[in-house]
Amino acid sequence: MATSQWRLIVSICLLAFMGFSIQVAGAETDKPPFYQVQWHGKTAYLLGSIHIGRADFYPLPAQIEAALGKARGLVVEVDINKADSIALLQQYGRADKTKGLDWQSRDKNTLQIMAPYCASAANVCQLIQSFAPWLQATQVNLMRYNALGYSTDYGVDMQLMTRYAALPVYQLETAESQFQLLASFGSQEQWSMVREAISASDDELLSLITAWRSGNEIGLDSIMQQQMGGEDDTQMLEKILWQRNHVMADGIIKLMGSADVAAPLFVVVGAGHVVGDKSVVQLLKQAGAKVNACWKEVCE
């Protein structure tokens, strides 16, 4: 199996409305990637998240909830309250025949995989066929996660923006930049996203969640970089993860260095951005910040 492009798509997709926070017994054994960042006398907490979840993710582990209680600002990848999703979908999410992205331009391999899927999910295929393939892949994945009991309503960023709506919210990217990124891939890459969205097993879908909840950072990094021997796969990881890591790390440093931004900050970004040797964590360290892994070291 090639690099799990569908996981990367799901990890950055923000095409859902805000959910409602429901307080139930959380799993205190959860240890998602969580760090304390110190820079020029200011503190921030950095949580690697996933954008889908279940009610039993909450409340988050006590150490994370305590940090949230001290936060003076919330930092997210994208503040969806500032996004015009309809306009963005019209501009970047439509099938484009001139680029080989329309339903009739599907290649032989894609048709072979989609035919049995659409036979059993005709309503889904009818719904998505006017979308660009990257958006088709996203919708298929979200529907599959929904069937397994997971929803974007319980994604960590969604929940925190609802619960802490009174806090100032800062975004590291824009919704348009994310849409532009996904739409920038060519037809070959986009149709491969659709194929993987359909053919990935349930176990593969759930492996990301299991690694996140258990704090298996090596596993998370491996999921993001599976069998990335091909040039195209490396390019996709470069665009979706590694280049954006620089944007996020620079944004965090800028916010922490601003006299107009109160500390401590609570930063929540996709877990794939905080693991591995090209991660936001490593870039913050290279910039001179002190970063503690809160499950292994003392975080105040």
Backbone phi, psi, residue 74, to 5°: -115, 130
- Which of 40, 67, 78, 77 minimizes the C-alpha distance to 261? 40
Assigned domain for 10 exists: yes
192-231 tens-digit pLDDT: 999 999 998 999 889 989 999 999 999 988 887 764 434 4
Assigned domain for 298 exists: no
Q: 181 with 75: CB under 8 angstroms? A: no
Amino acid 145: pLDDT: 94
149-172 tens-digit pLDDT: 999 999 999 999 999 999 999 999
Beta-sheet pairing, 265-270 with 73-76: parallel
* DSSP 8-state symbol, 227: T
Give how far Cα 42 sits from Cα of 67, 72, 168, Å. Answer: 14, 12, 17
**DSSP calls for 88-127:** HHHHHSB--GGGT-SGGG--HHHHHHHHHHHHH-HHHHHH
Coil vs helix vs strand at 48: strand
259-280 tens-digit pLDDT: 999 999 999 999 999 999 999 9
| 16 or 143: which leads in pLDDT | 143
43-73 tens-digit pLDDT: 999 999 998 999 999 999 999 999 999 999 9
**How far out from the chain centre does Cα 161 lie?**
15
Residue 239: which residues within 8 A CB-CB, separation 6 or more? 181, 184, 185
Coil vs helix vs strand at 69: helix
State the residue range of the domain holding 107: 5-230+246-293
Assigned domain for 73 exists: yes
Number of domains present in the structure of the chain: 1
Assigned domain for 195 exists: yes
Assigned domain for 264 exists: yes
Is residue 1 pLDDT above 90, yes or no? no
Length of the chain: 300
Retrieve residue 127's tokens: 């719904």
Q: 46 with 269: CB under 8 angstroms? A: yes
Look up the pTM and report it.
0.89
Angle between helical axes of 5-12 and 217-224 (0-180°, round to 10) = 110
- Which of 201, 219, 184 minimizes the C-alpha distance to 33? 219
Give how far Cα 198 sits from Cα of 5, 56, 81, 193, Å. Answer: 12, 27, 31, 9
Assigned domain for 235 exists: no
